[in-house]
Amino acid sequence: MAKDVLCEVNNCKYWASGNKCNAESIYVVSHKGKQADKSEETDCKTFVPEL
């Protein structure tokens, strides 16, 4: 399992200094059902805007 998850979306609630993601879990989905052929076909569903 990855030790660090990096994120550049600094308005996310889970964004931390050093472009680290501090969410307890990460949820990524594909635009094409259960499989993706390239990263552009996916989205991170863990994103929550920071208030």
| Predicted confidence (pLDDT) per residue in 10-45, tens digit | 999 999 999 999 999 999 999 988 889 988 999 988
Contact 46, 14 (CB under 8 A): yes
The pairs formed by 28-36 with CB atoms below 8 angstroms and a separation of 24 or more are: none
Domain boundaries, the chain: 1-51
Confidence grade of residue 48 (pLDDT, cut at 50, 70, 90): confident
Q: Which residue has the tokens 């994103």?
A: 47
18: number of CA atoms within 13 Å, CB side?
Answer: 5
Residue 21: CB atoms within 10 A of its CB come to: 19
Q: What pTM was estimated for this model as a whole?
A: 0.74
